[in-house]
Chain A
Amino acid sequence: MRLARWDVGRRSRSEARPAIRFSTRRKLLLALAALLIAFVLALATQLAGLRQMEAMFREMRDHEEQMRVALELEDAVRSQYAQEVGLARGDSATHDRSRLRARALMSELQARMEEPEAIARMNEIVEASAALERVFDEQRRDPNAVAAHQRAYPLVARIEGDVDSLFALLQKATIASRLQLAALEQSAATWIIGLLLVTPLLVAGAALYLSRAVAAPLARLSRGAAALASGDLDAHVEMDSPDEFGALAADLNAMTLSLRSHQARLVESEKLAGIGKLAAGIAHEINNPLQVMIGYLSLNRDIPDRRLAEQLAAVEEEARRCKQVVDGLLELSRPASVIPAAVDLRALCEDAWARLLWTPAGRPVLSLDGWACALADASKIRQVVFNLLKNAAEAAGPAGQVRVRIGPAGDSAELAVGDTGPGLADETRSRLFEPFFTTKPGGTGLGLAISRAIARAHGGEVEAENGAAGGAVFRLRLPLAPEGRA
């Protein structure tokens, strides 16, 4: 059974997705609402101006009508006066008609008057007209009375004077209205010109805002995606705006990161496949000469010459080491399959420690903490733990200490092996897991490469870092067994 690969798609902490606090939808609505409000305001202002102009027109028309009525009234009064002769001849019907006309015109004019001064003039006219009527009535009763003409004339003159001043008043008002209208027209024109000038600016402003808020980030995202598409896995879109674009940029960056790690793994596995092919060839070519060497050397184990026997034993040991290298290469390149079961990491660690051969100088002290149960292939993981412990013991030296911490870490069971050695140089750390990379005089450089290959075949990982208190720390992470979960 093969376990699922370690989930590399996980978002790293640095690529956390920002919360969408000011969405693009809100930005668009805001810009459009600003434009709409500006237009509605301009329209309302113009509409109010138009209404004002309309009222002014009506007023002017009224005044002109009043002026016409006033002139007619003057004419009617004059004709009333002129009828006096007719009245003297007893033609009262004609006189009555012109009196009724004067009365009708007067009441019409009175009804139209609004200004206090005009009303005062109008009242005078009404008074004078009433006096005139009385004069004519007297004349009608006494046709021989001669003085009527002399009495009526000043009244008519008064009425004429009043009508004239009323006319002048109305004319003045009309001129004022016309001036006001001209002013209104001017202001409307100014408004329209202003709007014509301001509207493009406003629209340009809104467009600029939208382009900054929408188009520019979109273009940057597009550039990032294009860079990614062209194979640039270092493409990074720097954008932390609290909207959808920021979120999309974070997603894009996370995707790039995950692609990068996938590609790194792919390159590594291709490298291993290449090593595998090579290893099979090497195994053929090396194992036959080794067979001859080891065969003859082992035939001479019992020779009496102790010195020569020792030398041959050393040669045999080295020949066996060659065999180990070839075996290690084959193992590294073969797709490791895993038969997982619950594995007590603590017990496994104790077992592996017990298998470590110690030098005559002694071996470092082991301090073992914690417990966890991993879902793994015990024999393979024992090899990994053995490698890690062996490395740590060698780094710490006989007087040092090896600290093992075991425990669950998220979804994984973790076994961290720390030592009191010199720690890892940066250059060493980056190449540590490459096949044949070793810092030890007698090492094959395959132990950690094999350990990592085994851990990854489990869906786990082996990583190296420097401990806070100095020395190196190697972390083995494996899937947590159901039994090991809290």
Chain B
Amino acid sequence: MDRCRVLVVEDKASVLKLMATVLGNEYQVVPCSSGEEAIAEALRRPVDVVLTDIRMPGVSGFDVLQAMRSLSPAPVVVMMTAYANVPDAVTAIRSGAFDYVAKPLDADEIALAVARAVEHRRERELEPLPAVPRPDAAPEQLPDDGQSYRRAVEEARDQASRQYLIRLMTSFQGNVTRAARQAGMTRESLHRVLRKYGVQSERFSTPAAD
């Protein structure tokens, strides 16, 4: 299987370098320091996943999202922001973004977000329907305050992450090493993430072990 091609769009060089470092081992990372560069790169060669900042000079993250949605096959887009707020989150998901994440994220969270996006990309390959906005991720008419953002967006994300981990562990029958390889994470990283989301790997092991 080819390594997934992941486009990282970020105007801050240090963040771009970090993303390349975190994801570089598992994915074919294409770092882009502007929206224009990202769109040109995506037109040149198809990409699987786009991880883009929202606020950038010139072409913004939302412009990148629009451009990616018009491509065929359309890459899965994950939006990142240093100023998370509900209106942006709602706009992102409605415009067809797969995920909306608030910086700062630790390495585990970055890996997990991309792993989920890659999984989504593979599912869509089998069933090539255009991605539809998912109402569970961003309920309508959310007031813009910290509480609601956390409750609505982050809780929904946490739920989705947990579901992903359960699917992952189920398909690898609790084998963390293989699951980690599949998710593009280290064993330790996956262990930490499993602990964080309260998923116990032992529960997925085959009954033959009993």
Contact = CB atoms under 8 A, between A and B. Distances in A.
A331 interface: yes
Interface string B172-210: 000000000000001010001000000000000000000
Given A295-B107, A337-B145, A283 B83 contact: yes
A458 to B, nearest CB: 13
A290 B81 CA distance: 12
Interface string A461-475: 000000000000000
Interface of B: 12, 14-15, 18-19, 21-22, 55, 82-83, 102-108, 110, 143-148, 151, 186, 188, 192
A319 interface: yes
A16 B103 CA distance: 55
Contacts of A283: 82-83
B14 to A, nearest CB: 5
Contacts of B147: 331, 336, 377, 379-380, 383
B56 to A, nearest CB: 11
Given A331-B147, A336-B145, A379-B147, A291 B107 contact: no
A123 interface: no
Contacts of A298: 106-108
A331 B145 contact: yes
B83 A288 contact: no
A284 B151 contact: no
Given A294-B105, A296-B18, A319-B104, A288 B82 contact: yes
5 contacts: A295-B18, A295-B110, A298-B108, A327-B146, A377-B147
Interface string A300-323: 011000000000000010010001
Interface in A338-393: 377, 379-380, 383
A213 interface: no
A287 B188 contact: no
Given A299-B21, A301-B188, A293 B104 contact: yes
B15 A288 contact: yes
Nearest to A279: B83
A90 interface: no
Nearest to B188: A302
A277 B106 CA distance: 27
Contacts of B21: 295-296, 299
